[in-house]
Amino acid sequence: MKEIFKQFKEIGIIPVVVMEDAQYAEKLADVLCDNGLPCAEVTFRTAAAAEVISRMVKHRPELLVGAGTVLTTQEVDLAIEAGAKFIVSPGLNPEVVRYCQSKDMPVAPGTQTPSEMEQALGLGLDFVKFFPAEPAGGLKMIKAVAAPYGQLVFMPTGGITPENVRAYLTDEKILACGGSWMVKQQMMADGDWDGITKLVREAATIVKEVRGRGKQAVNSLYRKNKSDYLQKRKLKIS
């Protein structure tokens, strides 16, 4: 498994961000980093996605920022240029997966059926998205279809809420969960940063309670991601 995805285990809940206006990128990056969820999957559902990724990465190098809803190799290139550290797709497109692999870019395609899971294994993957999680049967479905594929672990996304995320996080087949409830676009537009901060903190607390993740583990991720960012740009760490 790619080192980036191993960090997902510590983070637990990956905020899935849809942002129409990149002006909120830096503020959201601060809220995520400072309140226990140092990661963001910025979806390519809007024209601002690449700019959002770029601004987040430059503003908070320790934030683990990736691109979601990536459907084409062209979007992979845009994400890489913007500074994304991982790629997530709603479905399994072998062309996109192989292209990411050729660029040494960690990729988690969406799967739902045994056939798609076997296809992912055939592409050399051991971590995939399960999407849409709740409409497709949720944790019960994951346990049923994943049983023959012991090497696969999952990131369920779609319908994940504060009410059901604990059950997912307790299962050994779940590396992390993707969720958008704490980073709603309308809350950003309304300037409700106190509300967003509260929801992010509550999500981080759930991970800590379920998986025993402490502040030391999160700080370790901060240091590693910032160090990697600076080394790539040949800068000195102050």
What span, in angstroms and rounded, lies between the C-alpha atoms of 200 and 36?
A: 7
| Strands, E assignment, the chain | 13-17, 39-43, 64-68, 87-88, 107-108, 110-111, 127-130, 153-156, 177-179
Label residue 217 exposed, middle or buried (CB < 10 Å: 0-12, 13-18, 19+): middle
SS3 219: helix
**Residues labelled as active-site residues:** 41, 129
